[in-house]
Amino acid sequence: MRYISTRGAAPTLDFADAMLAGLARDGGLYVPESWPTMGADEIAALAGRDYAEIAYRVTRPFVGDAIGEADYRAIVERTYAAFDHAAVAPLKALAPNHWVMELFHGPTLAFKDYAMQLLGNLFNHVLGARGERVTIVGATSGDTGSAAIEACRGRDAIDIFILYPNGRVSEVQRRQMTCVDAANVHAIAIDGTFDDCQALLKALFNDGAFRDEVALSGVNSINWARILGQIVYYFAAAAALGCWQRQIAFAVPTGNFGNIYAGYVARRMGLPISHLVLATNANDILSRLLATGTMKRGAVHPSLSPSMDIQVASNFERFLFDLMERDGPRVAQQMAGFQDTGELPLSGDALDQARAVFTGFRLDDDGTIEEISRCFQATGELLDPHSAIGVAGGAAHRGDPAVPMVSLATAHPAKFPEAVERATGATPQLPPHLSDLMTQPERFEVLPNDLAAVQGFVRAHLAAGAPA
Ligand SMILES: *Cc1c(COP(=O)(O)O)cnc(C)c1O
């Protein structure tokens, strides 16, 4: 399988090189040259298999010759053995034919572990085989950072630097990044918003000389391998609910458009998804796009669901690439226009295509608290604020009630205990492996929203033996 850039002006790469590159050199994102497909019989054959086996079968075509079959199988098995629920991604019934899929049984209690743990093992394998090392830099609105750190901590071939918006992540999220005792891990609090962090990250990658100097690599949701690891649970849910001939729907708490884009990929691969509910908090640039036909940048509003507090959803470019019939130069032009004006209007035809897949939904903080309370009273399930937005979105846009609706629960309630307590009076407990988190010493650096300051810090903290 070969990977091409959404902007059409970067080299075509195989899976391993696209993964190590992160962002493409023309500023675009890597996507597979074509979509592999799975027939109804192949999807039916996933039923009753364990999660690692489903992951292997669904993702194998995307890896191609870059990693041998036995090695890849071992990587996938090792990855999901580290999760703390036997089903890895268990489904629970909330209401007739409305399910919640719990994607918080990995080491950092958010759905990002499902792809990031795979990515850590893939990086380790590929770098080890090549005798190379990399500097990973990531930007996080909360959960990506800790998931990336858990996936990379203590690995010889990797130094990892994570930028997060100072004061805008929850205490549990921050401590999961700052209480890590590993010399190759560096948490950086930027005086700014998540979008500022993301802009710094892009600027680091767009500085070709710096990029080569430190062998820069990225694990943000712009990395194709992240999307890859997220496709799996859409198939796992469909297999568990018997949906290979009949349809299934999903509701996805959305920020950077990575998770829901993986659902779109599953649909392109042949999974019979009727629609994907794109559920946002008050930072609703994408639900407004579906309502109005124009993507219009606004200010970021801090919310109870900080991992969705963004206005520029990087992964949308991948979907735009398909909407523009895979015309890279046209995507580059549209993205440049968005950069300049803060607006990206879709043609009527493109908007119709987007609406045929995605249904927009928005829930503000008051609605989120109400939903956490309602769900707890009705079912006993404690939802974190992100998951609550997905559950409310799934309930609001069921469509045909005979079609199963699966709302994705993207974080464990104990990651956001204040909101959960406020809504329900119940205090969610951290699982045993994190029970001493709140008393561990923290280690982090505060830096201004300034490219040169970040570059200087990275240079100064590369481990001995890193590229000079
Ligand atoms: C990252 C995150 C999201 C948003 O996912 P995207 O892929 O960025 O759309 C939602 N909920 C939680 C808990 C997250 O960590």
What are the structural domains of the chain? 87-107+225-424 (3.40.50.1100)
Mutate to test the pocket of ligand 1, among 29, 101, 112 (most ligand atoms within 8 A of CB): 112
Q: How much distance in Å is there from the Cα of 177 to the middle of ligand 1?
A: 17
Better-scored residue on pLDDT, 47 or 27: 47
Ligand 1 atom 2, closest CA: 307
Mean pLDDT of 387-391: 98
pLDDT computed for residue 463 by the predictor: 63
Nearest atom in ligand 1 to the alpha carbon of residue 255 is 9
Handedness of CA 179, 184, 189, 195 (dihedral sign): negative
* Ligand 1 residue neighbourhood (C-beta within 6 Å): 110, 112, 143, 221, 253-260, 307-308, 386, 410-411
Q: How much distance in Å is there from the Cα of 163 to the middle of ligand 1?
A: 16
Mean pLDDT of 262-269: 98
pLDDT computed for residue 300 by the predictor: 84
> Helices marked H in 38-111 — which ranges?
40-44, 51-63, 69-81
Mean pLDDT of 144-156: 91
Q: How much distance in Å is there from the Cα of 195 to the middle of ligand 1?
A: 14
pLDDT at 94 over 50: yes
Better-scored residue on pLDDT, 300 or 261: 261
pLDDT in tens, 41-64: 999 999 999 999 999 999 999 999
pLDDT in tens, 95-138: 999 999 999 999 999 999 999 999 999 999 999 999 999 999 99
Mutate to test the pocket of ligand 1, among 410, 412, 416 (most ligand atoms within 8 A of CB): 410
Q: How much distance in Å is there from the Cα of 173 to the middle of ligand 1?
A: 13
pLDDT computed for residue 465 by the predictor: 47
Alpha-carbon distance values, 61 to 122, 210, 428, 459 (Å): 15, 33, 40, 38
Nearest atom in ligand 1 to the alpha carbon of residue 221 is 7
Nearest atom in ligand 1 to the alpha carbon of residue 147 is 15
Q: How much distance in Å is there from the Cα of 255 to the middle of ligand 1?
A: 6
pLDDT computed for residue 123 by the predictor: 94
pLDDT at 353 over 50: yes
Q: How much distance in Å is there from the Cα of 190 to the middle of ligand 1?
A: 20
pLDDT in tens, 412-437: 999 999 999 999 999 999 998 888 99
pLDDT computed for residue 466 by the predictor: 47
Alpha-carbon distance values, 356 to 2, 288, 351 (Å): 28, 16, 9
pLDDT at 18 over 80: yes
Of 112, 202, 296, 415, which residue is the catalytic one? 112
pLDDT computed for residue 222 by the predictor: 85
Mutate to test the pocket of ligand 1, among 222, 256, 289 (most ligand atoms within 8 A of CB): 256
pLDDT computed for residue 224 by the predictor: 96
Lowest mean pLDDT among 186-190, 279-283, 302-306, 310-314: 310-314
Tokens of 53: 């086996």
Cα–Cα dist 102/85, whole Å: 10
pLDDT in tens, 218-241: 887 789 999 999 999 999 999 999
pLDDT computed for residue 292 by the predictor: 96
Cα–Cα dist 327/349, whole Å: 16
Helix, strand, coil: what percent of the chain each, to 5?
Answer: 50, 15, 35
Q: Is 112 a catalytic residue?
A: yes
Strand, coil or helix: what is 144?
helix
Handedness of CA 330, 325, 24, 252 (dihedral sign): positive
Q: Are 143 and 173 in contact (CB under 8 A)?
A: yes
